[in-house]
Amino acid sequence: MKLTGNTIFITGGGSGIGRGLAEALHKRGNAIIISGRRKGHLEEVCKANPGMSYVELDVEDTKSIASAAEKLIKDHPKLNVLINNAGIMQADDVAGVVEDALIVSTITTNLMGPMRMTSALIEHLKAQESSYVINVTSGLAFIPLAMAAVYSSTKAAMHSYSQSLRYKLRGTSVKCLELAPPWVKTELMGDNDDPRQMPLDEFIAETMQVLESDNHEILTERAKMLRNNAGPNEAAFVDQFNDMLAAPAKEGALSH
Which of 93, 109, 243, 117 is closest to 188 using CA atoms?
109
Q: How far apart are CA 9 and CA 6, in angstroms?
A: 10
The enclosing H or E element of 125 equals helix 113-126
CA distances from 112 to 78, 115, 202 (A): 25, 5, 30
For residue 141, the Cα-to-chain-centroid distance in whole angstroms is 11
In single-letter form, the type of residue at position 230 comes to: A
Is 161 among the catalytic positions?
Answer: no
Radius of gyration of the chain (CA): 18
Q: How far apart are CA 49 and CA 74, in angstroms?
A: 23
Please pick, among 54, 132, 151, 161, the residue that the annotation labels catalytic: 151
Check if the beta carbon of residue 199 is closer than 8 Å to that of residue 186: no
Which residues participate in catalysis according to the annotation?
151
